[in-house]
Chains A and B, each alone.
Chain A
Amino acid sequence: QVQLVESGGGVVQPGGSLRLSCAASGFTFSSYGMHWVRQAPGKGLEWVAFIRYDGSNKYYADSVKGRFTISRDNSKNTLYLQMNSLRAEDTAVYYCAKDTADPSGSYLDYWGQGTLVTVSS
Chain B
Amino acid sequence: SSELTQDPAVSVALGQTVRITCQGDSLRSYYASWYQQKPGQAPVLVIYGKNNRPSGIPDRFSGSSSGNTASLTITGAQAEDEADYYCNSRDSSGNHYVVFGGGTKLTVL
* In the complex, B76 has a CB within 8 A of chain A: no
Q: Evaluate contact between A45 and B100: CB separation under 8 angstroms.
A: yes
Is B106 in contact with chain A by the CB < 8 A criterion? Answer: no
User: When A44-B102, A45-B103, A114-B42 are in contact, do A107 and B86 touch as well, CB less than 8 Å?
Assistant: no
Neighbour of B88 across the interface among A102, A104, A106, A113, CB < 8 A: A106
Task: Please name the residue on chain A nearest to B37 by beta carbon.
Answer: A45
Contacts A44-B103, A45-B86; A108 near B96 (Cβ below 8 A): no
- Is B100's CB under 8 angstroms from A106's CB? no
- A46 an interface residue at 8 Å Cβ cutoff? yes
Residues of A near B43 (CB, < 8 A) are: 37, 45, 95, 108, 111
A47 surroundings in chain B (CB, below 8 A): 88, 96-100
A27 within 8 A of B: no
Task: Compute how far the CA of A97 lies from the CA of B23 in the bound complex, rounded to whole angstroms.
Answer: 23
For residue B1, CB closer than 8 A to chain A, the reply is no
- Per-residue B-contact encoding for A101-118, CB less than 8 Å = 1, 0 else: 010111111111110000
B88 surroundings in chain A (CB, below 8 A): 45, 47, 106, 108
Q: Choose one: A35, A44, A59, A105; the contact of B48 (CB below 8 Å).
A: A105
Residue in A44, A100, A102, A113 whose beta carbon sits within 8 Å of that of B100 in the complex: A44
| Complex CA–CA separation, A35 to B33 (angstroms) | 15
5 contacting pairs across A/B (C-beta < 8 A): A47-B99, A50-B97, A95-B43, A102-B48, A105-B89
Residues of B within 8 A of A (CB): 30-33, 35, 37, 42-45, 48-50, 54, 84, 86, 88-90, 95-103
Instruction: Sort A-B residue pairs by CB-CB distance and give the 9 closest, nearest first.
Output: A59-B97, A107-B48, A44-B103, A111-B42, A107-B33, A105-B31, A50-B97, A47-B98, A105-B30
